[in-house]
A and B are shown apart, each in its own frame.
Chain A
Amino acid sequence: MTVPYLPPAAFRAAGVPTLRTAARCRVQFRRGLTALTGQAATLTRAATGTLVDSAGTTVTVGHSMPRFEARTFDGAATIGLRMAADDLTYPCDWVPETGTLYLEFAEAGTRATANAGLVYVGNDGLTGARLLIDSDGTNYRATIHNGTTSQSVSLATATPTSGQTAKLAVQLEDTGGNQRVRLLLRVMDTAVETTTAWSSTVTRAATWGTGARLRLNRVGSAGTQGSTWVRQVAWEPGLVSLADMGTRL
């Protein structure tokens, strides 16, 4: 007995089918700057910059133009965005929730620079609730701030080292009354995989600070910039494992 099921319609109002993802925001730089989930990027770099192309040649690109650089990630050639003096933001329309902020990147100097930003959810002025992943000068550190108090947790080892690629996730747990964070890290091509303990809790903040954005390479609009190469960044609801965040849209 055959039962035909009609496929579900999944078209935006404009009538164009789009890729669907469980994430609230997912950017895969091999597809361009615009997020899979539709958020538009704002990239600024008040100077030229360099990248290494697929032939291994160093190329200079113009003012504020994206530096799509070829590297190897998990054994395969891939394209990511090189960032140093670059500032990249996306609108953040979701509220603090139990969720996972995920990054695939190559270490290029951020970790060894005190207070250099890796990825940040919050407003330009560092007010209100925010989530920071930056360096404490030696290790990567995740901080949950409710606008009044904050709690942090740091990785215990100085990894990844310069040139290594890694998957990093910050899990934010929201119990409805409190929030806390922990870090997960897997250094590619090694056996290094680590999960920190949960941070202490802060009283739950219901919204991010006014004007919050998802920002790469810097904490706030005037923070210390890092140096990194980013392949993918995403925020997904739930406490999602590194494996799941990296292997599905």
Chain B
Amino acid sequence: MSVYINDRPLAALVFGVNELTGHLSPSIPQRAPVPLANSAAIFGTTVTVESRSVVVGLDVRPTTLVNRQTLIDTLKRRMAGLLELRTDDLPGRVLRCLLAGVQVELYTAAMVNPACYITLTFTAVDPARHDVEPLVYGLSTARTVCPVGTDTSAPRVWLFGAATAVVNPVILVRSLTGAEVARMTFTVSLAQNDALVIDAGTQQIERYVAGVLQTGTSSGLAALTSGRFPILSPEDAADEGGTMPTVELTATSGTPTGLILYTRRWA
């Protein structure tokens, strides 16, 4: 089993990867209880998800004590910052994590025997794995099938204007049954060179006119009327993953078109 950190194999540095645990256990979201007796003050349910811990054990056999220290220094450099961890069994998915701890276990006669065992512990605050490659689909008044993984995806959606202005566009998300599960409504007239860019991950909306970002009363957020940011959820797909949720556009007038870009996430 090979482990890749930021696309570089750990096996290239060490004699072998002897341990890899924690990367496949599915994360189960724990929903916070909502006090029904105080429903007027409910902002909305919250979901907490435990971070994922991945442990990697490395069998290290450098030829000299100096090489051992050089290798440890190299590992430290490569383990800095946000890391993308991939494994051979699922090369198309990455886990974003930070190095949480390092243990270097020296063997008997450590002052002459350079071999050691290094245990790396990674923590992924977001326990879900992401596809390495995103998906992109055109949007229209027809229902566009958007495949999801086993966890939610927060897409980026573009809404384009047209020569005949698209007035008050709406983004609709439907479940596998066709039932509407999310709607996002705008009050805006999108002309030929206009575009709205909706980022459901950061919950930002930008409006562009001929490529120029608009601000103030012409900004994207000012165009938002009601609804919520579209989220693609496995709860809206069939249990076996065959039938997926769909996204479509409507408008008061004009022909709405757009684009949706997202990565699938896997719990």
Q: Write the residues of chain A forming the contact surface with B, with a CB cutoff of 8 angstroms.
A: 1-8, 10-11, 17-21, 30, 43-46, 48, 51, 53-55, 57-65, 68-70, 76-79, 247-249
Contacts and interface: CB of A to CB of B under 8 A. Distances in A.
B119 to A, nearest CB: 9
Interface stretch (B28-36, B42-50, B97-105, B181-189): B97-105
B138 A62 contact: no
Interface residues on B, range: 35 or more
A43 B211 contact: yes
Interface stretch (B54-62, B169-177, B192-200, B223-231): B192-200
Contacts of A79: 133-134, 136, 261
A79 B133 CA distance: 7
Interface string B3-23: 000111000000000000000
Interface in B80-112: 80-84, 92, 98-106, 110
B165 interface: no
Contacts of B161: 62
B158 A20 contact: no
Contacts of A8: 76-77, 79-80
B111 to A, nearest CB: 10
Given A19-B84, A57-B137, A65-B158, 19 more contacts: A1-B110, A3-B104, A3-B106, A7-B79, A7-B98, A7-B101, A30-B132, A30-B133, A30-B134, A54-B136, A59-B138, A62-B158, A63-B195, A63-B208, A65-B195, A65-B197, A68-B261, A76-B92, A249-B8
Contact of B104 (A2, A58, A249): A2
Contacts of A247: 7-8
B79 A63 contact: no
A17 B124 CA distance: 12
Contacts of A54: 135-137
B8 A248 contact: yes
Contact of B76 (A5, A18, A43, A51): A5
A33 to B, nearest CB: 11
A8 B120 CA distance: 13
B81 A17 contact: yes
A165 to B, nearest CB: 14
A78 B81 contact: no
Interface of B: 6-8, 72, 76-77, 79-84, 92, 98-106, 110, 132-138, 145, 158, 160-161, 192-195, 197, 208, 210-211, 257, 259, 261
B137 A55 contact: yes
Contacts of B7: 247-249
B102 A7 contact: yes
A10 B132 CA distance: 23
A109 B104 CA distance: 54
A248 B6 contact: yes
Nearest to B122: A7
Contact of B102 (A4, A20, A30, A63): A4
Nearest to B125: A17
Nearest to A50: B138
B133 A77 contact: yes
A197 B76 CA distance: 38
21 contacts: A8-B80, A11-B81, A19-B83, A20-B80, A20-B81, A53-B136, A54-B136, A55-B145, A57-B137, A58-B138, A59-B257, A61-B160, A61-B259, A62-B160, A62-B161, A62-B208, A63-B211, A64-B211, A65-B197, A79-B136, A248-B6
